[in-house]
Structure 1
């Protein structure tokens, strides 16, 4: 009688299999890098538009006009009353962004004015009163649909906007 043995599973084998499985999340949506990373959002800015100062350590200067994208998640932005904020989150059919939600009374939604591609989230706001508003959206970490790895994770995008008198 012949004895059959199964290959031994080592911690290294398990770790390698898990890494390959997780590498499928986010693949196929045209983005480079890990989920949560994004191409610079300045590419969505219309010609002649200025972009608000970016990143931690930037002076807390208020601006009258700001353009935001996926790379701006986690920022706090200062906008002067009467100013305008536009944002575009570039997604895909497989990893679509939810519509942008705004909380607070400092911002009022205005017409963003252009047609967007499936999966993108586009929004525009006018700073109407001093105060604070929070903008948020989310999208799946893994592509949806047949032939893709399935997961229930979400990529969250949030920006806090502080509106001051001009």
Structure 2
């Protein structure tokens, strides 16, 4: 019975590892979903770029006709503002998933060659819930530059 339990645990770990690579987080999967640094197309740009909060400050490249998808994990007390796209290289599309309280999600299709900046922000500290509690006015900025080729 012990060998069966170990085999079941190993199979579960492999299944979970496979699920992580399908999301495009820091790895290239066989389904065309890639991390921001991977570049399997002839243009040197990825067909699908998936971003998260830790990608702030990066410049990524997406192939024209490809997609950029992002999820910024936040909380009710420290919510992300909606993502703003500044430029004409990306066109907003349906992100296709449910937003949790505090999250910012967005999806874009790369429709024209060019550069676009994506931005969002959230408070560094939760707002005080009772009088007399200490608060801070700091803001966490999130910015990613997207090159479309």
* TM-score, normalization by structure 1: 0.65
**Partners in 2 of 1:154 and 1:122 — Cα distance?**
19
Deviation per residue, 1:6-42 (Å, 9 max, x gap): xxxxxxxxxxxxxxxxxxxxxxxxxxxxxxxxxxxx6
Equivalent residues of 1:143, 1:149 under 8 A apart: no
Which residue of structure 2 aligns with residue 128 of structure 1? 111
Aligned counterpart in structure 2 of residue 45 of structure 1, from 23, 26, 37: 23
Which residue of structure 2 aligns with residue 87 of structure 1? 70
* Structure 1 runs of 4+ with >3 Å offset: 46-49
- The 5-angstrom pairing of residues 4-153 of structure 1 reads 45=23, 50-54=33-37, 61-147=44-130, 149-153=134-138
**Partners in 2 of 1:44 and 1:96 — Cα distance?**
26
**Partners in 1 of 2:35 and 2:63 — Cα distance?**
12
* Structure of larger gyration radius: 1
Q: CA deviation at 1:140?
A: 0.1
**SS at 1:52 equivalent:** coil
* Paired positions, count: 119
**SS at 1:98 equivalent:** coil
Q: CA deviation at 1:45?
A: 2.6
Equivalent residues of 2:116, 2:147 under 8 A apart: yes
**SS at 1:151 equivalent:** coil
What CA RMSD, in Å, does the superposition of the two structures yield over aligned residues? 2.5
Q: If each structure's helix is expressed as a fraction of its own residues, which one has the higher value?
A: 2
Which residue of structure 1 aligns with residue 15 of structure 2? none
Where does the alignment leave 5 or more consecutive residues of structure 1 unmatched? Answer: 1-41, 55-59
Deviation per residue, 1:42-81 (Å, 9 max, x gap): 6993796623244xxxxx9411101100010000001110
Q: CA deviation at 1:144?
A: 1.4
Equivalent residues of 1:88, 1:123 under 8 A apart: yes
**Partners in 2 of 1:78 and 1:139 — Cα distance?**
25
Which residue of structure 2 aligns with residue 163 of structure 1? 148
